[in-house]
């Protein structure tokens, strides 16, 4: 979970190096305390006791560091959503829990870790790889539930799977996308229930 998942091309030098972890650690600390913008690369360098230039031996850019931290955040949410899904055994309930968990966990990050949430907002708005990958993984989760539900006979099988995945993803998206979520706060109470009910009705065989 705290595993440094890799947004590939943005990292440099030795893939597995103690200093890289130190940087990520320091960045997580600084970004979440002072915010991404207010933290300078020199701050991070000072924190780990090296020069700024050395940081660039490990990351292409400051944003690359931000991506890493953001990816960790999102992958933490993803893990917890998966856990929520696994608590249910039937696909319809899994879908309900997925909706509920996505909204709750995003909201939790928003209220408890505002500074990190702001990184996620930038990431989503500027389409960083970390976000694109996360979105894709959410669609895959969704597809998993749908496939299971089709197999178990809980869900209809006529509509092309890809289209169903996409449509449901679009329904969920306003609560996944950090920027949009901020403009949907009025609805976070009831939306997960109402929307998952609507979606489940649409999936009935």
Instruction: Report the interface residues with DNA, using CB under 7 A.
Output: 13-14, 19, 37-42, 49-54, 56-57, 60-63
Taking residue 116's Cβ as centre, other Cβ atoms within 10 Å add up to 22
Q: Which of 51, 87, 108, 197 binds a second copy (CB under 8 A)?
A: 197
Residues 169-188 binding a second copy (CB under 8 A) are 170-171, 173-174, 177, 179-180, 183-184, 187
CA distance 150 to 61: 45
Select from DNA, a second copy, none the partner in contact with residue 125, using the beta carbon and a kind-dependent cut-off of 5 to 8 Å. a second copy
Nearer to DNA, 32 or 39 (CB): 39
**For a second copy, which is the closer residue by CB, 45 or 199?**
199
Tell me how far apart the alpha carbons of residues 33 and 168 are, in angstroms, rounded to a whole number.
Answer: 35
Please state the closest distance from residue 41 (CB atom) to DNA, in A: 4
Task: Tell which positions 125-144 bind a second copy, by CB under 8 A.
Answer: 125
**Phi, psi dihedral angles at 59 (to 5 degrees):** -130, 145
Minimum separation from the CB atom of position 37 to a second copy (A):
20
> What does the alpha-carbon distance between residue 97 and residue 129 come to, in Å, rounded to a whole number?
26
Contacts 24+ apart (CB under 8 A), 189-194: 191/103, 192/96, 192/99, 192/100, 192/102, 192/103, 192/104, 193/96, 193/99, 193/100
- Contact between 89 and a second copy by CB under 8 A: the answer reads no
With CA atoms as reference, report the closest residue to 98 among 157, 152, 148, 151.
148
By beta-carbon proximity to DNA, the closer residue of 39 and 131 is: 39
Using an 8 Å Cβ cutoff, are 109 and 116 in contact? Answer: yes
Is 8 among the residues that bind a second copy (CB under 8 A)? no
Does residue number 5 form part of the binding site for a second copy (CB under 8 A)?
Answer: no
Cα angle for residues 195, 201, 203 (degrees, 5° grid): 105
Query: Least distance to a second copy from the beta carbon of 71, Å?
Result: 20
Residues forming contacts to a second copy in the complex (CB under 8 A) are 124-125, 156, 159, 163-164, 166-168, 170-171, 173-174, 177, 179-180, 183-184, 187, 190-191, 194-195, 197-199, 201-203
């Amino acid at each position: 979970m705290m595993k440094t998942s890799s947004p590939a091309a943005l990292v440099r030098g030795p893939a597995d190096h103690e200093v890289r972890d130190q940087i990520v650690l320091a960045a997580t600390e600084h970004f979440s305390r002072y915010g991404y913008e207010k933290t300078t690369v020199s701050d991070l360098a000072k924190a780990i006791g090296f020069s700024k230039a050395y940081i660039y031996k490990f990351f292409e850019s400051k944003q690359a560091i931000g991506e890493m931290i953001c990816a960790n955040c999102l992958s933490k949410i993803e893990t917890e959503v998966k856990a929520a899904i696994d608590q249910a055994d039937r696909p319809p309930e899994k879908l309900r829990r997925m909706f509920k968990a996505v909204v709750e966990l995003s909201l939790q990050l928003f209220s408890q870790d505002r500074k990190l949430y702001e990184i996620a907002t930038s990431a989503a708005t500027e389409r960083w790889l970390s976000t694109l990958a996360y979105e894709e993984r959410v669609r895959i989760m969704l597809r998993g539930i749908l496939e299971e539900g089709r197999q178990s006979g809980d869900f209809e099988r006529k509509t092309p799977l890809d289209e169903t995945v996409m449509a449901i993803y679009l329904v969920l998206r306003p609560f996944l996308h950090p920027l949009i979520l901020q403009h949907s706060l009025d609805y976070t109470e009831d939306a997960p229930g109402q929307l998952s009910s609507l979606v489940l009705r649409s999936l009935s065989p």
